[in-house]
Amino acid sequence: MNTYEILPKDDGFQSYGTVCAANESRFTAANYSEPLTAFTIGWKNREEIESLLNFVAPVVNVARRFEFKVGDPDQAFLSETDDIRSIGSAFKRVEFTGTSVTSKTFNKGLTIRVDHDDVAGDDWRECYVQLLLQRLYRNELRRAIAALEANAVSSTTNYIWSNSTGTPNPDADIRAELEAAMNITGVRPNRLILGEVAWDIRANAYDHQNNAGANRSAALNLEEFARKLFIEEARVVSGRYQTSATEKSSFLGNSILAFYANNAVMKDEPANIKRFVTPVDGNSLFRVYLEEHSKFSDITVEHYSNIVITSTTGIRKLVVSAEEE
């Protein structure tokens, strides 16, 4: 997860079709494209990277510079018995406690140069904007997963889910890790992400047993699987990213991450991870620039975000294998 592609700088002389780090000199009012920016609002990617990213790191809208509190997830479960207002008095004030941290959202973007001899149709600009959006979302997903992994407490148990090890019970092992987190923090992680390799190892472990209980566990879909573990939702991370000219790597592989997060969170609401974003044009998270030349065009997509681990408490990581080492 620590291997990142080093993009070439946008010096104005990049070859056609090359994606490069966006140059701020292109971010001018003359090159701003309102139609292409509007296109980003309604765009939905087929790989559902955006949906997965929002599941891993829920969005919180903030200004460029903002302040948030680092707190414990158990504050989300506080309850009062004195919420009844007396005549002439105010309601009880709710406050989030924790250390205040000042931060900012970072300007991120990519540029691609498109030769006019290589385009066809009227929607070629939108197609290249879509390509850059997909890549920017993939970058953010990698950052979010890497942040969770870097702050997770790794299990001390070497989980081997193989038929050669007897009768493995993967779901019981995952449940044990959830309970371990709850014993420490008082809060059960409510979200789980599994690498596709880990999900396949789980399925194979149950398939090989060939009994009623194992067959029932193997047949569970993700919604039923989450309900069995008493969590809100579970997702399988099946994406790939390029790590070299000839190799691709899985986002999560044979690892499983358990954490606490909420959709539509507020800036100070307790959670393990948040993706702070600064909208750039109304409801848009992205801004598009189009620099036209006689024989080619440069398309740039930018956005502002900062993925932050707002609480390290309760993040758990399991690494599983199919055979004994």
| pLDDT of res. 77 | 58
Question: Could you tell me the pLDDT band of residue 1, with boundaries at 50, 70 and 90?
Answer: very low
Q: Identify the CA nearest to 302 among candidates 15, 89, 33, 5.
A: 33
Query: Across residues 143-162, what is the average pLDDT?
Result: 92
Please, which residues have CB within 8 angstroms of residue 269's CB and are 6 or more apart in sequence? 76, 96, 262
* Amino acid type, 104: K
Please, which residues have CB within 8 angstroms of residue 121's CB and are 6 or more apart in sequence? none
Provide the mean pLDDT of the chain: 85
| pLDDT of res. 106 | 94
Q: Is residue 139 over pLDDT 90?
A: yes
| pLDDT of res. 120 | 86
- CA separation (Å) from 279 to 183, 286, 302? 39, 7, 11
| pLDDT of res. 242 | 63
| pLDDT of res. 283 | 78
Q: Is residue 230 over pLDDT 70?
A: yes
**254 vs 71, higher pLDDT:** 254
Query: Across residues 169-191, what is the average pLDDT?
Result: 91
117 close to 295: Cβ distance less than 8 angstroms: yes
Q: Identify the CA nearest to 138 among candidates 232, 22, 239, 269.
A: 239
- As given in the structure block, the two tokens for residue 63 are 């200004």
Per-residue pLDDT tens digits for 34-69:
999 999 987 877 668 899 999 999 999 999 998 887
Question: What does the alpha-carbon distance between residue 21 and residue 80 come to, in Å, rounded to a whole number?
Answer: 50
Question: What does the alpha-carbon distance between residue 281 and residue 175 come to, in Å, rounded to a whole number?
Answer: 44
Per-residue pLDDT tens digits for 76-109:
556 666 777 778 777 777 666 667 788 999 999 9
Query: Across residues 313-325, what is the average pLDDT?
Result: 85
- Taken in order of first residue, the domains within the chain and their CATH numbers are 19-70+102-321 (3.90.1690.10)
Q: Identify the CA nearest to 106 among candidates 265, 273, 282, 278.
A: 278
What separation, in Å, do the N-terminal and C-terminal C-alpha atoms of the chain show? 22
Question: What does the alpha-carbon distance between residue 198 and residue 256 come to, in Å, rounded to a whole number?
Answer: 7
Q: Is residue 2 over pLDDT 60?
A: no
Q: Tokens 């900012």, residue?
A: 104
